[in-house]
Homo-oligomer: A and B are copies of this chain.
Amino acid sequence: MNQKVNSQEWAREKIRSAGLRATPARIATLKVLHGSESPLTHAEVSDELQNLEIDKATVFRNLTDLVAKNVIRRSALGDNVWRFEIIKESAHKPDSHPHFICVDCGSVSCMEDVELKRTSTSKSPLFERITEIVLRGHCNECA
């Protein structure tokens, strides 16, 4: 119970300090994302919020607003659906990690323990400006 109160207050503070109004829809949305280990689609967030009867346009707008304020991140993992996750503000790390999505079952994993490096032979200057890495393939469940 205390946990719930904390989660509620954490969400409210997060939203307020981003310069947004702490509406029930936004608090609920952020709590849902906070409780997930992998990024969620708009549909998944909406489903979690169905008992609150929040309009889908509102959910979209709130997710977009929170992205604009750098509270959450929007990723496109290759199945033509946006996914959203909270940006963890670690001490010094930039909190940017590759995502893996299974082309068979669609399961998504945050690969926080993985880092990619370019081979020394490459001269491509594009590499300096990469902001997001998406890896697609077959997960362990899908042979």
Q: Which A residues form the contact surface with B (CB < 8 A)?
A: 75-82, 100, 103, 109, 111, 113-119, 121-127, 129-140
Contact = CB atoms under 8 A, between A and B. Distances in A.
Given A80-B76, A82-B80, A122-B115, A135 B130 contact: yes
How many copies altogether?
A: 2
A24 B129 CA distance: 41
Contact of A113 (B111, B116, B123): B123
Given A78-B78, A116-B117, A118-B115, A125 B140 contact: yes
Contact of A81 (B80, B123, B124): B80
Nearest to A116: B116
A5 to B, nearest CB: 36
A130 B49 CA distance: 34
A131 to B, nearest CB: 5
Contact of A134 (B82, B121, B136, B140): B136
Nearest to A143: B129
Contact of A131 (B109, B124, B137): B137
A108 to B, nearest CB: 11
Contact of A136 (B81, B117, B132): B132
A135 B118 CA distance: 12
